[in-house]
Chains A and B, each alone.
With several copies, the nearest count.
Chain A
Amino acid sequence: MFLSFPIDRVRADFPILHQQVYKRPLVYFDNAASTQKPVQVIDAIRRYYEQDNCNIHRGVHYLSVKATEAFEETRKEIREFINARDTREIIFTKGTTESLNLVASSFGKRYIRPGDEVIATIMEHHSNFVPWQQMCLECGATLRVAGIDDRGMLNVGELFGMISEKTRMITLTHVSNVLGTINPVKEIIAEAHKHGIPVLIDGAQGISHLPVDVQDMDCDFYCFSGHKMYGPMGIGVLYGKEKCLEELPPYQMGGEMIKEVYVDHTTFNELPFKFEAGTPNVEGVAGLRAALHYLNELGMDNIMDYEASLLKYATEKLAGIEGVRFYGTSDWKASLISFLIGKIHPYDVGMIIDKMGIAVRTGHHCAMPLMDYLHIPGTVRASFAFYNTMEEIDWMALAVAKAKKMLE
């Protein structure tokens, strides 16, 4: 199936891939940190600044009306992309981290009392761990943390066992940015809802690899970043069920989130504006729109298939190098591989293969609780996007073998 993936045409769309690094062709395997942008996105940004740039909403003049319409059109397209029920449920933020902080902060203010509990997992990214941890510490609540098994799969039973009448929220990642594990979010959400507990899904790594349908999943919140889905930096989305968002107090103040301000009090605008404070990143939204179009045209199913083949091939190739240990071997896995070789420090591997033009990420991947749990200092992580090729994987395997020889 993946043989039909138009890889040459796709690669041609990404200018950055055609450069040399240390006199070698760049091999970019750091996609889980940030994806590269197709020329369509870059052009959309340029066009936005050359033709449409303006502050939006309250303006009556031509540019402002035009920019506002494009902005609100994008909201509709994002609603469609994740199959939300209503555009009122789509909030633009600066990224996943802000979306998560927004919910943790507003949810905490509204609902969390001393003695309450929030459940997370040991594989959470700091951005979906620390906001809840700190909010719980402030409120006198407890953050409970479900573990994983040998293959890096969530102990769903353990998580379900933590649910009690004290539980106010379950927050977990759709896809682990370290292990690649795709969590059984639908099953967890269904169980949580039996107890009336809302569930937040951190979609930072989910949105670019899987078709996402928030109504089918039935999550209460879903968060993602533009820059990890081939769109610009500085823009992200918070999806929330209308009912949930309605009940949360506003987060930041100023701009379109306001209805009326008096010296002694303020009334707030309705959804989605209630959570959009300050001049929004209209450029970011314009770029994100182009990214959506790009993904829709390729088709998330095709992307999934092609990436699955990359993952399979890379796993086989690396497994052929003696001493390589994988972290995360779930059957349900997105296209990234975390590994270590013997006693070699991941940093050393990253430094050496970088000199061969290969960009991987090394370290704790902003998941220190997971590193502690696994008793490792970090991993080498190669994360793939649909513009990567089998040949690049061959080259990485050679480079890793060479690094191993040098460093052992």
Chain B
Amino acid sequence: MTIKEAEKQIIQEFSVYDDWLDKYNFLVEMGKSLPMIDPEYQTDTYLISGCQSKVWLYARLSDGKVIFTADSDAIITKGIISLLIRVFSGQAPDDILHADLTFIDQIGLKENLSPNRSNGLVSMIKQMKLYAQVFKMKQG
């Protein structure tokens, strides 16, 4: 699945709900199902700053694709990052680097997940792209 396709799928899933609360309920469910990060990466080194809640993010390269795992102490943040992982994990570094995510606007959470320092969405995406950048350079 490409990044665009993954985004499309998420948009479709969210389109079922009109209500903010239902969307959040769904987000919370996503958060609960996020595969947790290996405890060894749950340290300050992997902490993303700029979030009101803590987010740990780790990535490794496997067969030329970036595999992300993450965790957060807040469940909604977990939900948000689980969406980002669905979109980015398993993609090539270059694709991640050039991706211009639109699903956030389209699932109707824009006002809530705005580039506001407290939810750290911007920091999360930045960090994921940074990983992609590093892997790209390593690959040559």
Is A217 in the interface zone, CB < 8 Å from B? Answer: no
* A317 proximity list for chain B (CB < 8 A): none
Does A111 count as interface, using CB distance less than 8 angstroms?
A: no
Chain A, Cβ-Cβ closest to B27 = A351
How many residues of A are counted as interface, with CB atoms below 8 angstroms from the partner's CB atoms?
25
Q: Which A residues are in CB contact (< 8 Å) with B114?
A: 65, 69
Beta-carbon contact of B76 and A347 below 8 Å: yes
Within 8 A of B (CB), among A14-42: 22
Contact of A355 among B24, B53, B54 (CB under 8 A): B24
Asked if B28 lies at the interface with its beta carbon under 8 angstroms from chain A, I say yes
Q: A345 touching B20 by the CB < 8 A rule?
A: no
Closest residue to A57 on the B side, CB-wise?
B117
What is the interface size of chain B, counting residues whose CB is below 8 A from a CB of the partner?
A: 22
CA distance in complex: A351, B24 (Å): 9
Asked if B73 is at the interface of the complex by the 8 Å CB criterion, the answer is yes
A59 at interface (Cβ–Cβ under 8 A)? yes
Q: A57-B117, A345-B74 are in contact. Are A352 and B21 (CB under 8 A)?
A: yes
Interchain CB contact under 8 A, B21 and A355:
yes
A352 and B75 CA atoms in complex are apart in Å by: 11
Kindly state the separation between the CA atoms of A65 and B111 in the bound complex, as whole angstroms: 8
B26 → chain A closest CB, angstroms = 11
Whether B53 contacts A57 by the Cβ 8 Å rule is no
- Please give, as numbers and ranges, the residues of chain B lying within 8 Å of A348 by CB-CB distance: 28, 53, 74-76
In the bound complex, residues from chain A placing their C-beta under 8 Å from that of B24 are 351-352, 355, 406
Docked-complex contact A345 and B75, CB < 8 angstroms: yes
Q: Hey, which chain B residues are within 8 Å of A68, CB to CB?
A: 116-117
Contacts of B52 on A, CB cut-off 8 Å? Answer: 58, 60, 347, 362-363, 378
Is the C-beta of B2 less than 8 angstroms from some C-beta in chain A? no
A406 with B28, Cβ < 8 A, contacts A65-B111, A352-B21 known: yes
A window 71-120: CB within 8 A of B: 72
Find out whether the CB atom of B75 lies under 8 angstroms from the CB atom of A57: no
Chain A residue contacts of B25, Cβ below 8 A: 406
Q: Is the CB of B118 within 8 A of A345?
A: no
Q: A69-B115, A347-B74, A347-B76 are in contact. List 16 more A-B contacts (CB 8 A).
A: A58-B52, A62-B111, A65-B114, A65-B118, A345-B77, A347-B77, A348-B53, A351-B24, A351-B112, A352-B21, A355-B24, A362-B52, A363-B118, A378-B52, A406-B28, A407-B75
Subset of 15 A-B contacts with CB under 8 Å: A22-B20, A58-B118, A69-B115, A345-B73, A345-B77, A347-B76, A348-B53, A348-B74, A348-B76, A355-B24, A355-B112, A377-B54, A378-B52, A406-B21, A406-B24
